[in-house]
Structure 1
Amino acid sequence: MDGYTTALVCAAAAAGAALVRSGKRYIDNSAVELLAAPDGVRAMIEAHCPSLVAPARARLVPPPYLPTGMLQTIYGAMVALRRDSESDIEYDRQLRTMEDGGTVSLDWFPARPSGPECAQPIAIVMSGLGGSAYEYHIRCLAKHLATKSRAGMRVAVLNYRGSGRTPLTSSTMYNGYDTSDIYDTVGYLAQSFPRAPLVCVGFSMGANLLARYLGETGDKSRIAACVTVSCPFSGETAGRAINAPGLLFDKFFQPALTGTIKRIVKRNQDIIQSGAITYDIDAIMRAKRVCDVDNALTARAYGFKDCWEYYAACSSTDFIERIRCPFLAINALDDPIALPEGLPMDQIAKNPRAAIALVAHGGHIGFFSGLSARMWHLQPVLEFLDAVLADKAE
């Protein structure tokens, strides 16, 4: 072997070794970090949730083409309308009128229970801001829970007022502060199907609302277990993140989120103006950022002086220690909205019923793993809820 060939072989070997080391670091950095008090829900997770604790399985290895939280988040939004074997379902819709005349919808999969004798667990699922039952990650979760659960769950996705093709029939729109529709929905399901255990899964804004609801109800909650995904526990932290200037936020998130709200407002101006509060519709339609919409609409609806007072009031951090049912939060450390500094680590550590699973990569409602970019979080959600339901059944 001449000197030139020897040099090429050595260079190739060095490059291969470097690639192996880089790949090992990439995989090692994908392990799940679980925080839970040793005397509480941790024992159940260690016994029944291998995707959160088993060394070979408790990891989210992101696709090489989605290595950052921002890319994961954008990709999740890009595939929101995708239909494939994981998400191709049809819902059974139920419209419900709230006490103030507002309307929410429940999208059931595979179908609404036929009567009060139903003993199958019901999983109530709530989306993020601007979302609905039709988003890809919601449909994937609904199918996963309904077809793979040992407990045989039915899924009921709660669509907020004016979202997911739900008509707006009152001046009050959905928001991240008011939990009254959750109270009504849980009460209705508990009364209509008294034999069916109720569990919850919430994403982003829906996750934060569920965490607040569970803290508000405490020991009186009718929910057997809850999982939150990409929960922005600190409203102020998330508000600063989402309203911060930046190319991707300015060109992608802001237009998408404000556009969704503007379309609802434009279609329903007369209804929105029919209440006791008068809104500046022109200001709402001119809004370029989420904070501008919240200043002109959401903060005014609940008497807050501005969006920042509204964001602070939305926070669920102070409610975590009051939660009395098994509670699991799933968050990514590279989430561009639910930033790590806003996570209530101390509060979770103090509550034996609570746990948080952290992954290095996953973004905001992304959690795509492997070369085929499959949603990693579906399995830990299923394992946790099944474990709680099995324990309740014993």
Structure 2
Amino acid sequence: MTGLPSGAEFRPPGPLRSGHIQTILSSSGIRRRLLPKAALEILDGAEHVLIDGGDGVRLTGVYTAQKRQASSRGLAVLFHGWEGSVDSTYVLQTGSRLLREGWDVFRLNFRDHGDNFHLNEALFHSCRIDEVVHAMGDLARRWPCRPMVLAGFSLGGNFALRVANRAKAAGLPLSYVLAVCPIIDPSEGLYSLEESAPWFYRAYFIRKWRRSLQAKQALFPQHTYFELAELKQGLRGLTAALVARNTDFESLEQYLDGYSVGGDILADMAVPGTILTAADDPVIPVNSFRQLQLPAHVELDISAYGGHCGFIQGWDMTSFTDDYIAARFNAVASGRLAARIPDLASP
């Protein structure tokens, strides 16, 4: 895509070329403290709203209207990663950049993320795509500014791709999707965390997950989401126990397959888009991306550096993904991408 940033251009200095340092810094408190004030602009004038997920499901999110231009470029929706929220540093940073570019921005919390543990008794799991698709329809009706574009990070990138894959059938007016380091094959991802990635990644994820599960249990004491012995297990054991206790899936493998976007699952996706990942991502194996079968209007961009959702450019903690996402979204709004990709019209 000529004239747009590419992953090959991302060349961070010195120590920031480590995928582990990129990954650790991506969600660290250090990054949030060092970010310029402009990265928190999205918080000014933000409107907290309840979103309809269908079948009685309620989700939360935050809408911020742009004030830089006479009219908005469109509606940009952002999805956080697993155990993140609308207030995750990378979501705030990207949202603030898009706001300055003239986009209205909506940040969506998945079930049991952020402030919405109390809204739905049933537990979050990664196959709950129907409620997210329904929520996107609610957003499209409430804020009809077009084009409507979507970006997601990690598990949020996986959700974003599945939303785009269902957009045409669901009647969603989605013009473009961009996924940063999305989970492709959950079975491979779980194996990677268990066998390949350093121990501190497992410790980080399971600590946050246990804390969320305990918060959910405290709100719904009448419902047994887990036994204490199950909560003490590792990632695979706890996932298997929760799947068996809280879902209709017959096995852990069936559950993991349920939210895979690997192989040819995205081959017929009607919505144009981009998948950006890094070859040095220690969490999501890069081979999963190389095995994808994608339509011509979906771009796969594998950077040599970036870690997992890092892409941090320097010691000011700003991210290359902000430039990357903003450039592509702006090209959608101006029609420049449509000129090169005939399918870039809304379904």
TM-score (norm 2): 0.85
71-80 vs 129-138, greater mean Cα deviation: 71-80
Q: Could you tell me which residue of structure 2 aligns to residue 259 of structure 1?
A: 207
1:108 and 2:63 correspond: yes
For residues 99 and 270 of structure 1, do their structure 2 counterparts lie closer, same or farther at Cα, with a shift above 3 Å needed?
farther
Q: Could you tell me which residue of structure 2 aligns to residue 23 of structure 1?
A: none
Instruction: Give the counterpart of 1:155 among 105, 108, 112.
Output: 105
Check whether the contact 2:54–2:135 (CA below 8 A) recurs between aligned residues.
Answer: no
Inter-partner Cα distance in structure 1 for 2:242 and 2:95: 32
Structure 2, unmatched stretches of 5+, are 339-343
Structure 1, unmatched stretches of 5+, are 1-44, 113-117
3-state SS of paired residue (2:76):
strand
1:363 and 2:307 correspond: yes
Q: Could you tell me which residue of structure 2 aligns to residue 88 of structure 1?
A: 40
Q: Could you tell me which residue of structure 1 aligns to residue 328 of structure 2?
A: 384
1:171 and 2:121 correspond: yes
Check whether the contact 1:125–1:157 (CA below 8 A) recurs between aligned residues.
Answer: yes
Deviation string 1:8-38 (CA, Å, 9 cap, x unpaired) is xxxxxxxxxxxxxxxxxxxxxxxxxxxxxxx
Give the superposition deviation at 1:243.
2.2
- The amino acid across from 2:165 in the alignment is G
Q: Could you tell me which residue of structure 1 aligns to residue 12 of structure 2?
A: 62
Inter-partner Cα distance in structure 2 for 1:141 and 1:352: 27
Percent identity over the alignment is: 20
3-state SS of paired residue (2:267):
helix
3-state SS of paired residue (1:170):
coil
- The amino acid across from 1:291 in the alignment is R
Check whether the contact 2:52–2:134 (CA below 8 A) recurs between aligned residues.
Answer: no
Q: Could you tell me which residue of structure 2 aligns to residue 314 of structure 1?
A: 259
Give the superposition deviation at 1:268.
2.5
1:286 and 2:232 correspond: yes
- The amino acid across from 2:188 in the alignment is T
Q: Could you tell me which residue of structure 2 aligns to residue 304 of structure 1?
A: 249
Size of the aligned set, in residue pairs, is 328
Deviation string 1:276-302 (CA, Å, 9 cap, x unpaired) is xx5333134313x22222112145433
Inter-partner Cα distance in structure 2 for 1:123 and 1:88: 16
Check whether the contact 1:64–1:371 (CA below 8 A) recurs between aligned residues.
Answer: no
Q: Could you tell me which residue of structure 2 aligns to residue 12 of structure 1?
A: none
Check whether the contact 2:53–2:132 (CA below 8 A) recurs between aligned residues.
Answer: no
After superposition, the CA RMSD in angstroms is 2.7
Task: Write the mapping of 1:1-394 to structure 2, written as runs, cut at 5 A.
Answer: 45-46=1-2, 48-49=3-4, 51-52=5-6, 59-79=9-29, 81-82=32-33, 83-89=35-41, 90=43, 91-110=46-65, 120-148=73-101, 152-218=102-168, 220-244=171-195, 248=198, 250=199, 252-269=200-217, 278-287=224-233, 289-298=234-243, 300-317=245-262, 318-348=264-294, 351-370=295-314, 372-391=316-335
- The amino acid across from 2:47 in the alignment is D
314-323 vs 266-275, greater mean Cα deviation: 266-275
Inter-partner Cα distance in structure 1 for 2:22 and 2:208: 21
Q: Could you tell me which residue of structure 1 aligns to residue 341 of structure 2?
A: none
For residues 372 and 96 of structure 1, do their structure 2 counterparts lie closer, same or farther at Cα, with a shift above 3 Å needed?
closer
3-state SS of paired residue (1:155):
strand
3-state SS of paired residue (2:274):
strand
Deviation string 1:302-331 (CA, Å, 9 cap, x unpaired) is 322443332222111233212112210100
Inter-partner Cα distance in structure 1 for 2:304 and 2:196: 24
TM-score (norm 1): 0.75
Inter-partner Cα distance in structure 2 for 1:281 and 1:101: 27
For residues 286 and 355 of structure 1, do their structure 2 counterparts lie closer, same or farther at Cα, with a shift above 3 Å needed?
same
319-328 vs 102-111, greater mean Cα deviation: 102-111
- Larger Cα Rg: Structure 1 or Structure 2? 1
For residues 311 and 269 of structure 1, do their structure 2 counterparts lie closer, same or farther at Cα, with a shift above 3 Å needed?
same
Give the superposition deviation at 1:361.
0.8
